[in-house]
A and B are shown apart, each in its own frame.
Chain A
Amino acid sequence: MILQIENLHASIGGIEILKGVNLEVRAGEVHAIMGPNGSGKSTLASVLAGRENYEVSGRVLYEGQDLLALPAEDRAAAGVFLAFQYPVEIPGVGNLYFIRTALNAIRRKRGEDPIDAMDFLALARERMRLVEMDESFMNRSVNEGFSGGEKKRNEIFQMAVLEPKLAILDETDSGLDIDALRVVAQGVNALRNEDRAMLVITHYQRLLDYIVPDFVHVFADGRIVRSGDKDLALELEEHGYAEIAAS
């Protein structure tokens, strides 16, 4: 079992957003979490990645250890990765420098030596090809001046370099045109394997045409209200959230 969420509650500024989430994710599985805006999907992603502005209760086990007790950087070192809905622009920090710093911080934490500069460059080149990213993005400042699609590709590129065990994709399809969506999905699919689990958070069924999930969960008012296989997504598309959530 990679992830076990039991009765997870989270609130911010006294307002409860997650109201008892339960979920189990095994290695190799792709779970889609679908729900209307404001249902708390992104809060779930933030809480799992270690954002600190929430009051959290409940239990989250990641590979058997208490995930909520770990700071964000330790979660990353343990193999948790969040692809941001709104990737942050960092002027003055080169993209490749950024991801190499991250990779080496993770390796250090795991007791491994820093990656050799040439090996890293080869790795970065290979992983950039996966998301059809031009090499000119290597030395540009992180996400600065990137288009929406370029930012999302950059998230998947980072994921490909860091090779997480649990990848959480938060609205990765938002702001993407169909071509960019195809490229991003292709990158994600290439990273699917039997050891890696993915949590794909999305508002639209569209993404799931490209990244086909093993399970679909409908999120409403801070909790999962229905679970099923990929056909549930189609049902949602047809009937809308209100009807499914009520049924």
Chain B
Amino acid sequence: MSTVAPSVSSSGLAGLELAPEAHQPTWVTKMRTSSQQWVAEHGFPTLKDEDWKYTRIKTVLEAPFQIAQPLTSWLPSTDEIDELAGDLGGPRLVFINGHFVAQLSSLTDLSGGVRATSLASALVEDATLLEPIFADNLAGYRHAFTALNAAIGQDGAFIQIPADTIISAPIHLVFLSNADTSTVVTSPRSVVLVGARSQATIVETYVGIAGVYLTNAVTEVILEEGAKVEHYKIQDEADTAFHFGALHVRPGRNSNFSTHGLALGGAIARHEVWVRLESEGAEVSLNGLYLPTGNQHHDNPTLVEHIAPHCTSRQLYKGILSGHARGVFNGRIVVGHEALDSDASQTNKNLLLSDTAEVDTRPRLEIFTDDVRCTHGAAVGQLDEEAVFYLRSRGVPQLEARGVLTYAFAGEMLDLIAIEPLRSHVENKVALRLGAGGVEVQR
């Protein structure tokens, strides 16, 4: 960790490179080199790529980014972290600019056999366990950002839960970014391994303090047979920041995975979910709520690959857009030849609060078998004026009536949050964000 020699970028993101570290396993060095090559060969995505069609990233590629180093000039208090990310009452791993900060983290509540630590230390201590996971991923880069994460990512969370273990308290991963003094790219890489029949809740919170920075995060969740994972991702980056996050999920046989993504911050933010249903009987549900306002751009690509038979996937994404904001839902479902008895559904609903906000909703279904139930629907609309009048006729002023109805649109997603302290934290954030978009929310 301590002997990193960063190189200052001369040509934006593509020029970033890490010097090898002292105790680094050979495969890590090789992986970084080959990932670097992947980026060089394939280049960064353009509007010609189907998955990036609506997201212009020129400003991101040209920013004078440096690789984020451990930050010594800023250390928040526990109270500040509670305020920024919520206090969920369970174990909490805190990262600043992508680097684990042990003294701010609390891992006391974890029972025997459960590992929750920094990826940097796991790469040294559990190199043999991690090697196949990283090697496997190398074959599957879908774009240069995940490859870049592998090339220059040094740290993140490593969670390993043995079989037959039920963890009721949520494990909270808090990624704080502060680019007050320099323009940095942080590359958190998190790996969550959940053993057979085990259950856990993982919450990722990305909070930005200040400045121009890029969070280029990759989180990988691997579920063994019969495991159950509830995952949350709260993206609350600074409005001047960029966030490209990728969540890769590999559910085991008869496992159950659900994720709830909330996009609040970022100038350009992209939250990508990729699920590979390679084992029979798995059930996944992907939920997302995005609330861009002002000039924010929120992109939500999903890829659900039904490869094995008897799997179920559900997607429900909702957007509330105001100002000049732009939103994208780009949802792709692929049902392969052998994925018999697949059940896939996808719904995207958008509420436009201004004439200048815009949303692109694009379902892409590719089905290669007959034995499948596959539904999708997309809607873009304004508030129901009949409902506005109903509220007004009962005495609720116009703006407040609009606020009640707008919040109710988001409410369907917020009600899905099973952890009470997280739900109330998120409800406050959503009310603030809608308020910034001119919505009067009284709760």
Contacts and interface: CB of A to CB of B under 8 A. Distances in A.
Interface of A: 49-52, 71-73, 75-77, 81-82, 84, 87-88, 90-93, 98-99, 101-103, 105-106, 109, 158, 162
Interface string B370-388: 0000000000000010110
B396 A90 contact: no
Contacts of A162: 394-395
A158 B409 CA distance: 23
B71 to A, nearest CB: 41
Contacts of B398: 71, 73
Q: Which 4 pairs show the lowest CB-CB distances between chains A and B?
A: A92-B408, A76-B395, A102-B394, A106-B395
A158 to B, nearest CB: 7
Contact of B404 (A52, A71, A75, A101): A101
Interface string B413-443: 0000000000000000000000000000010
A84 B395 contact: no
B400 A90 contact: no
Contact of B394 (A71, A91, A92, A99): A99
A93 B389 CA distance: 15
A76 B412 contact: no
B390 interface: yes
Contact of A51 (B389, B412, B442): B389
B408 A82 contact: no
Interface in B127-179: none
B393 A76 contact: yes
A136 B123 CA distance: 54
Contacts of B390: 84, 87-88, 90
Contacts of A77: 395
Interface string B289-300: 000000000000
Contact of B393 (A50, A90, A103, A109): A50
Nearest to B412: A92
Interface in B261-305: none
Tell me if A's interface is mostly helix, strand, loop or mixed: helix
B394 A76 contact: yes
Contacts of B14: none
A72 B393 contact: yes
A91 B393 contact: no
A65 B262 CA distance: 48
Contact of B405 (A76, A87, A90): A90
B397 interface: yes
A35 B392 CA distance: 27
A73 B396 contact: yes
Contact of B387 (A50, A88, A103): A88
A109 B384 CA distance: 25
A99 B397 CA distance: 13
A93 B404 contact: yes
B60 interface: no
B18 interface: no
26 contacts: A49-B393, A50-B392, A51-B389, A52-B389, A72-B392, A73-B393, A73-B398, A73-B401, A76-B395, A81-B393, A82-B393, A88-B384, A88-B387, A90-B387, A90-B391, A92-B411, A93-B408, A101-B391, A101-B396, A101-B400, A101-B404, A101-B442, A102-B391, A105-B397, A106-B395, A158-B394
